[in-house]
């Protein structure tokens, strides 16, 4: 899923709120879109598996492959995006 698809999905979920992220977030957005299938999953007893966090090992590898230098700031930005993605996934039926 690319940036355009993510922006379209967010616009559909929040049509009255324009999506504006700082340009400084571009490496984090590029990285998190590359990790769209790299979620750690956990079950809720007899319930379905649910995503609980991004796989940080995959994040490190993807960052290096994309030429993005891992840093504490990048991790903080990824955590912000991860938290919102988890909230969106949790709120879906």
Q: Is residue 13 domain-resident?
A: no
Q: Which residue has the higher pLDDT, 87 or 15?
A: 87
Q: Is residue 80 domain-resident?
A: yes
Q: How many domains does the chain have?
A: 1
DSSP state letters, the chain: --HHHHHHHHHHH-TTS-----GGGHHHHHHHHHTTT-EEEEE-TTS-EEEEEE-HHHHHHHHHHTTPPP-HHHHHHHHHHHHHHHHHHHH--
Question: What is the arithmetic mean of pLDDT over 23-32?
Answer: 86
Q: Which domain holds residue 65?
A: 23-91
Q: Do the strands 49-54 and 39-43 form a parallel or antiparallel pair, or are they unpaired?
A: antiparallel
**pLDDT tens track for 34-74:** 988 899 988 877 778 888 999 989 999 999 999 999 889 88
Q: Is residue 4 domain-resident?
A: no
Please determine, for residue 1, whether its predicted confidence score (pLDDT) is greater than 60: no
Q: Which residue has the higher pLDDT, 72 or 89?
A: 72
For the chain, give the number of residues. 93
Please determine, for residue 90, whether its predicted confidence score (pLDDT) is greater than 90: no
Binning pLDDT at 50, 70 and 90, where does residue 18 land?
Answer: low
Q: Is residue 51 domain-resident?
A: yes
Q: What is the separation, in whole angstroms, between the first and last Cα of the chain?
A: 21
């Amino acid at each position: 899923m690319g940036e355009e698809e993510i922006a379209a999905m967010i616009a559909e979920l929040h049509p009255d709120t324009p999506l504006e992220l700082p340009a400084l977030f571009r490496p984090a957005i590029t990285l998190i879109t590359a990790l769209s299938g790299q979620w750690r999953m956990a079950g809720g007893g007899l319930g379905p598996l649910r995503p609980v966090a991004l796989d940080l090992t995959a994040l490190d590898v993807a960052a290096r492959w994309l030429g993005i230098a891992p840093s504490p700031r990048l991790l903080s930005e990824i955590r912000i995006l991860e938290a919102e993605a988890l909230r969106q996934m949790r709120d879906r039926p």
